[in-house]
Amino acid sequence: MDHFTYQDGVMHAEDVPLPLIAEQVGTPVYVYSRATLERHARVFREALEGVPDKLIAFAVKSNPNLAVLKVLGRQGMGADVVSVGEMRRALAAGIAPEMIVFSGVGKTAAEMAAALEAGIGQFNIESEEEGVELAAIAAARGLTAQCTLRINPDVDAGTHDKISTGKADNKFGVPISEAGQIFGALSRLAGINLRGVAVHIGSQLADLAPLETAFAKLGTLVEALRGAGHTITHVDLGGGLGVPYRVGEVLPAPAEYGAMVARVTRDWGVKLIFEPGRVIAGNAGVLLTRVVRVKRGINDPFVIVDAAMNDLARPALYGAYHHFEAVVPRGAGMRANIVGPICETGDTFAMGRECDLLEAGDLAVFRTAGAYGATMASSYNSRGFVAEVLVDGDRFAVVADRIEAGAIMDAERVPEWLA
């Protein structure tokens, strides 16, 4: 459930009419709802009530906006980060360092040092090589990094290939067949305390079965590691729960996920870490856009909007569906190709889509844009970076300025020898 609803025929974010935001901030603009973020955080937390000892660390990559992180931090969430940039955002939003988990397959030495110095709670080590390097960096500083070893369980998550992370040929984690040996080698090093294992098999999962398979494999591994004399106190189960993008689409509810987790992990006797991203932020945001013009087509007309693939990359990258609706529907429909202004055919949000009847100047939204939306924006075609707004009841604030194309150009230099 979200808080983007029609009131008197006009789409609102909570109690703010979207035309007001368009008028004051311009378009395209991402609009987030605080009440929706809080609701999703609460639902996820309640779904895990059967898990006694846990940390829920929001996957910052899904929406790193400072105000969004502030809202979620106040809901008791920690942060899952994959770069020092994300770590600094989590800290700036007031999230305690011990509630920050550092994942990612390419942590640089400088990033590991910065994270150690910030005192973050956990590193998820992705390879033996990385573990050795982290141990040396920590030992040189007289510090001990708290770590889990990320396992690649070789489970097909059944999601889009580009966001699947748990198959043997994906770059993430160490092969489960070698996990015992690598765990043994790393656990002997000074500078790290290897206290558990981690897994994350992919994103936008529409089925709990692959997750359960991966978790069960992890359970077996935990037993084997304990059998080999290791102390296992933490297991990180990653994120991945899918959300509905289409009207009427039904996905596993957080409560079903929570029940499955509680059942599978009942006897593990560990602290569990969760890294949800999309399920918290996805339906808490829309991308508000204005129709530039409607162009006749051979078949369907092209509705050309002022948002483009540089603002919302998911359709171009993954062929992803984002529901598209008029902000002030006329009560009639049309079949249209929804496209942006960028000069490549990939800048297409939808082909042959049944949608509200739209004319030049109308406002419309792409729904479910709160996760992996603004954060994946670029300035392709010398378009600026899109602005972001957070709504709270009947008030709203710009929480990320639009960065105009001119500001990006200002950061460029022509060398003297070309002048």
Q: How far is the CB of 371 from ligand LLP (least distance, A)?
A: 6
How many angstroms separate the CA atoms of 174 and 286, rounded? 37
How many angstroms separate the CA atoms of 150 and 147, rounded? 9
Q: Of 109-117, 196-204, 321-329, 337-345, which segment contacts ligand LLP by CB under 6 A?
A: 196-204
83 touches ligand LLP by CB under 6 A: no
Q: How far is the CB of 284 from ligand LLP (least distance, A)?
A: 13
Q: Of 89-97, 226-234, 273-281, 328-336, which segment contacts ligand LLP by CB under 6 A?
A: 273-281
Which of the 8 DSSP states describes residue 226?
H
How remote is the C-alpha of 80 from its chain's centroid? 10
Q: How many residues does the chain have?
A: 419
- Binding-site string for ligand LLP from residue 159 to residue 188, where x marks contact by CB under 6 A and - marks none: ----x-x-----------------------
276 touches ligand LLP by CB under 6 A: yes
Q: Report the residue from 12, 39, 200, 217 that binds ligand LLP according to the rule CB under 6 A.
A: 200
Q: How far is the CB of 158 from ligand LLP (least distance, A)?
A: 13
How many angstroms separate the CA atoms of 132 and 165, rounded? 23
3-state secondary structure 144-201: CEEEEEEEECCCCCCCCHHHECCCCCCCCCEEHHHHHHHHHHHHCCCCEEEEEEECCC
Q: Report the residue from 240, 254, 258, 370 that binds ligand LLP according to the rule CB under 6 A.
A: 240
Which residues, including other chains, have CB under 8 Å from residue 79's CB and lie 6 or more apart?
Answer: 57, 58, 60, 69, 73, 86, 87, 90, 95, 99, 100, 101
- β partners of residue 274: 56
Quick one: 157 or 222, whose CB is closer to ligand LLP?
157
Catalytically annotated residues: 343
Where in 324-353 is the site for ligand LLP (CB under 6 A)? none
Quick one: 28 or 104, whose CB is closer to ligand LLP?
104
| Rounded to 5°, angle at Cα 271 from 265 and 276 | 80
Q: What are phi and psi of 415, to 5 degrees?
A: -60, 155
Q: How far is the CB of 330 from ligand LLP (least distance, A)?
A: 31
Q: What are phi and psi of 408, to 5 degrees?
A: -70, -40
Quick one: 30 or 396, whose CB is closer to ligand LLP?
30
Cα distance between the two ends of the chain:
57
Q: Of 135-143, 238-246, 249-257, 383-391, which segment contacts ligand LLP by CB under 6 A?
A: 238-246
Angle at which helix 84-92 crosses helix 109-118, to 10 degrees, equals 20
**Furthest C-alpha separation in the chain:** 71
Q: How far is the CB of 397 from ligand LLP (least distance, A)?
A: 25
Contacts with ligand LLP by CB under 6 A: the residue count is: 22
Quick one: 302 or 318, whose CB is closer to ligand LLP?
318
Quick one: 148 or 187, whose CB is closer to ligand LLP?
148
Quick one: 161 or 401, whose CB is closer to ligand LLP?
161
Q: Report the residue from 130, 275, 347, 388 that binds ligand LLP according to the rule CB under 6 A.
A: 275
Quick one: 35 or 57, whose CB is closer to ligand LLP?
57
Residue whose token pair is 């899109």:
386
278 touches ligand LLP by CB under 6 A: yes
Q: How far is the CB of 99 from ligand LLP (least distance, A)?
A: 15
Which of the 8 DSSP states describes residue 102?
E
Strand (E) or helix (H) holding 7 = strand 4-7
Where in 19-78 is the site for ligand LLP (CB under 6 A)? 59, 62
Q: How far is the CB of 161 from ligand LLP (least distance, A)?
A: 12
Q: Report the residue from 73, 210, 239, 285 that binds ligand LLP according to the rule CB under 6 A.
A: 239
130 touches ligand LLP by CB under 6 A: no
Q: How far is the CB of 129 from ligand LLP (least distance, A)?
A: 18
How many angstroms separate the CA atoms of 281 and 59, rounded? 10
Instruction: Output Rg (C-alpha) for the chain, integer angstroms.
Output: 23
Quick one: 60 or 355, whose CB is closer to ligand LLP?
60
How remote is the C-alpha of 404 from its chain's centroid? 25
Q: Of 31-39, 177-185, 237-245, 382-390, which segment contacts ligand LLP by CB under 6 A?
A: 237-245
Give CA separation, 280 vs 49, 221, 325, in Å: 17, 29, 22
Q: Which residues bind ligand LLP (CB under 6 A)?
A: 59, 62, 80, 103, 163, 165, 200, 203-204, 238-241, 275-279, 314, 318, 371-372
